[in-house]
Amino acid sequence: MSANAPRYPLVLVPGLLGFIRQLGYPYWYGIVSALRRHGATVFPVLVSSVNSSEVRGEQLLERIAEVRQQTGAAKVHLIGHSQGSLTARYAAAMRPEWVASVTSVAGPNQGSELADYLQGKAPHGSLRERLLAMVLRGIARCMALLETGYKGSRLPMDVAAAQQSLTSAGVAAFNAKYPQGLPATWGGEGAEEVAGVRYYSWSGTLQPGITDQGGNRFDGPNRACRIFARTFVREAGHCDGMVGRYSSHLGKVIGDSYPLDHFDIVNQTFGLVGKGADPVKLFVEHAQRLHAAGL
């Protein structure tokens, strides 16, 4: 371990339809290797790609236990992308003695307006909901077959629970149970430390002339984010295509307007990001921040 590396291992938690590696291609493209080059101990983990944040959180607790046993570390740092943020928050609320910090990266900590829109267009019990569920289950099953970074037992799927977990109402119910690190006011910052756990967050926004240039000119997910952004009302013009700028706030807000869409922020796809953006640097700098905090 480098003298500038965090004291505890970093556990990276993916979002909806997340993975570790698909046929060798990593979810955290270039991020794990960069962190390891700087001396950090890093574990990208897998939880159910489609399920509620609580179910995923219980699975994450099992992964944390495995990392603690493997490394001998008393605690871990949890870094969650998208729904991975809610998953990490649950784990920290359940076992704070196992967690040194939780970092939300583009996490829907107040829900996603995109999820609200989809629920409105495909309400519970409707044909549209059944079709959407069928598509998501199909994608998740194909991804499970292509997963090369996970060797554990088959993980359960629950499309309806996943969708509800990401809506504003679903996250509000989650927040009522697990409020650690949440801002008291909309757009503010939350407590930086709760029950011995540090809380951090960062996120990006779509910025015409920046996030639609550079590698993003050739990036399909970026185009999808620009379409998804049209569903936002409360945070119109202030979202990354899937999560709103202020909805992402948790604990100490490192930044909420990086020129990064929802996929750019984890250096997807193949590092095709906006003009001048460097998402990998944000992770390396955060590892150094945790080290400086004695963590």
Q: Identify the helix (H) or strand (E) that includes residue 285.
A: helix 279-292
Number of CB atoms found within 10 A of residue 54's CB: 17
Instruction: Determine whether 277 is exposed, middle or buried from the number of CB atoms within 10 Å of its CB (0-12, 13-18, 19+).
Output: buried
Q: Identify the helix (H) or strand (E) that includes residue 128.
A: helix 127-146
**Which are the catalytic amino acids?**
82, 240, 262
- Crossing angle of the two packed helices 168-177 and 83-94, in degrees rounded to 10: 20
Helix, strand, coil percentages (3-state) for the chain, rounded to 5, are 40, 15, 45
User: Whats the size of the chain, residue-wise?
Assistant: 295
**Inter-CA distances, 40 with 3, 100, 214, 239, Å:** 10, 15, 30, 31
Instruction: Determine whether 199 is exposed, middle or buried from the number of CB atoms within 10 Å of its CB (0-12, 13-18, 19+).
Output: buried
Instruction: Determine whether 209 is exposed, middle or buried from the number of CB atoms within 10 Å of its CB (0-12, 13-18, 19+).
Output: exposed
Q: Identify the helix (H) or strand (E) that includes residue 211.
A: none
Question: How far is residue 173's CA from residue 169's CA, in Å, rounded to a whole number?
Answer: 6
Dihedral pair phi/psi, residue 188, rounded to 5°: -90, -165
Residue 48 · residue 59 · CB < 8 Å: yes
